[in-house]
Amino acid sequence: MKQLATPSESTELGLLKNMLEEAGIHCALRNEQTFQAFPTTPFNVELWVDDDADYPKAQELCESWFHPPSDTAGIWSCAQCGQRLRGQFDSCWKCGAKREMADKMTA
C-alpha cells in the first residue's frame, strides 16, 4: 500500500476516494473515524492506494482532481440531484445518474 499525497481535507478525500474506486482503483481512508469523532480537530485523513501498481494512475487522477484543467466548459450539473460535476466524470458520484441525462436536460 502507498499513501497518496493529498491535501488533508477530509470531505474532499471522501469524494476523491469514490472517484478512484469508480476508476477501478481500490483505496482506503485512514484516520477517517478519528475525524468523524472529533470533526473540529485537525487530524490528518490519509488516502492509501491498496495496489502499488495503481499508484501512478491514482496520483494522476488525484492531480487532475485538485488541479482541474483551466477550462471549465466541461463542468456539468446532475439532472437528478443538481450536483455540479467536473468534465472527467461520466456519471454523478453523488446519486449515480448518468451524464447523458444531464446533457439532454440542458440541451
Write out the residues near Zn ion by the rule CB under 5 A. 78, 80-81, 83, 92, 94-95, 97
Which lies closer to Zn ion via its Cβ, residue 56 or residue 74?
A: 74
3-state SS, one letter per residue, for 87-100 = CCCCECCCCCCEHH
Which lies closer to Zn ion via its Cβ, residue 64 or residue 80?
A: 80
> Shortest Cβ distance from residue 99 to Zn ion (Å)?
10
Is the separation of the CB atoms in 12 and 25 below 8 Å?
Answer: no
Which lies closer to Zn ion via its Cβ, residue 58 or residue 92?
A: 92
Residue type, position 30, single letter: R
Torsion of CA 30, 75, 87, 29, to 10 degrees: 0
> Shortest Cβ distance from residue 84 to Zn ion (Å)?
10
> Shortest Cβ distance from residue 18 to Zn ion (Å)?
12
